[in-house]
Copies of this chain bind each other. A is one copy, B any other.
Amino acid sequence: MTTPEAREEAVLEAVRKRREQVNEAIPEELPIQRPERLYEASRYLLDAGGKRLRPTVLLATGEALVDAEPLSEDYRAFPTIDGERTETRSADSSSGPPRDTIDLMDAAVSVEVIQSFTLIHDDIMDDDDLRRGVPAVHKEYDLGTAILAGDTLYSKAFEIMLETGADPARTVDALGILATTCTKICEGQSLDITFENRTDVTPEEYLEMVEQKTAVLYAASACLPAILLGADDETIDALYGYGLDIGRAFQIQDDVLDLTVPSEKLGKQRGSDLVENKQTLITVHARDQGVDIEGLVDTTDVDAVTEAEIDDAVARLEEAGSISYANDKARDLVDQGKARLEVLPDNEARELLCQLADYLIERGY
């Protein structure tokens, strides 16, 4: 029997080892070039940190699919599923240049670059000042540079995804997933903004918004290796579902952490979602229980709110059972997502994907 602490430690170690490789790959794929200020702004948040959870899901899924020992493969030259792992040129008949291996790290960097683009633009829309403990890009630079930095990351993500060396048909499918994922993220962000002015959002509507805004990028991360390495449709669909489930659970946990983690550790003001009238599963549930959500915090200015006000608000939400409700929902989603992994070979990397799912809702920040 492993203890929860030992399990978390193992996951963090697995994430850390992949993060190191992703962190090395980012400046290779996205070098600072002319115009320097634009590329520095584009790299600013990527260089400021981040757990690289989405790339980790992507890389671990690749390992599980080819039944590899975790971290035993070179992500830059990853074997395909369908036995093209020879030193000879591929016998595949497509018109692209034949390749024996796939650069899965390109795909991993691509999804992280998309994630970073959405953070830069979201911070402008939400007028958030801090991100990952540093100023948001539009604060560190300026509005125009931040918009443009996001736009640059957007097209760079597509350029990088084009470089995996996969068969053109698989590359087309991968780019299709990337493009529809970006569209859904925009739709989700748009719903999120309109929800701020509504007091009748249902849990179903909230979960739909979260699916689009957050979960689809986890879903893309989980299914992209299956597409690029040549898995069958059943596997691709199951992995997409796993990503959607754990992505929704991740966002619900994020909403819980926004209320419960000290500002210092969070890298931004605790309770900022409440102050800014962001809908979360917690507030949607609490309103159903008769809690006056709009009255919980007096100000709409994150700089003016006091810790005591946030403490009182959290106590009210706890009384209403809303935080437990969110925790339970996240747990259900994670269990559902883990069950979908049965489509994969039973191996250590699959076990890691299960642990990662647990970690997303057990993490302290």
By a beta-carbon cutoff of 8 Å, the part of chain A in contact with chain B is 34-35, 37-38, 92-96, 121, 124-125, 143-145, 147-148, 150-152, 154-156, 158-159, 162, 167-169, 171-172, 175-176, 178-183, 186-187, 189-191, 193-194
Q: Would A162 and B179 count as touching, CB distance under 8 A?
A: yes
* A/B interface sample: 26 pairs, CB < 8 A: A37-B190, A38-B187, A93-B93, A94-B95, A94-B96, A94-B168, A94-B169, A95-B168, A95-B169, A96-B168, A121-B147, A121-B148, A124-B143, A124-B147, A125-B143, A148-B189, A151-B154, A152-B183, A152-B187, A154-B154, A158-B158, A158-B179, A159-B180, A168-B171, A168-B172, A171-B172
Q: Would A176 and B159 count as touching, CB distance under 8 A?
A: yes
Query: Which of these, B38, B144, B172, B179, contacts A96 with CB under 8 Å?
Result: B172
Cβ of A100 to closest chain B Cβ, rounded Å: 17
CA distance A151 to B187 in the complex (A): 10
Query: Which of these, B95, B176, B186, contacts A93 with CB under 8 Å?
Result: B95
- A95 nearest CB neighbor, chain B only: B169
CA distance A187 to B187 in the complex (A): 27
- A158 nearest CB neighbor, chain B only: B179
Cβ of A89 to closest chain B Cβ, rounded Å: 15
Q: Would A144 and B186 count as touching, CB distance under 8 A?
A: no
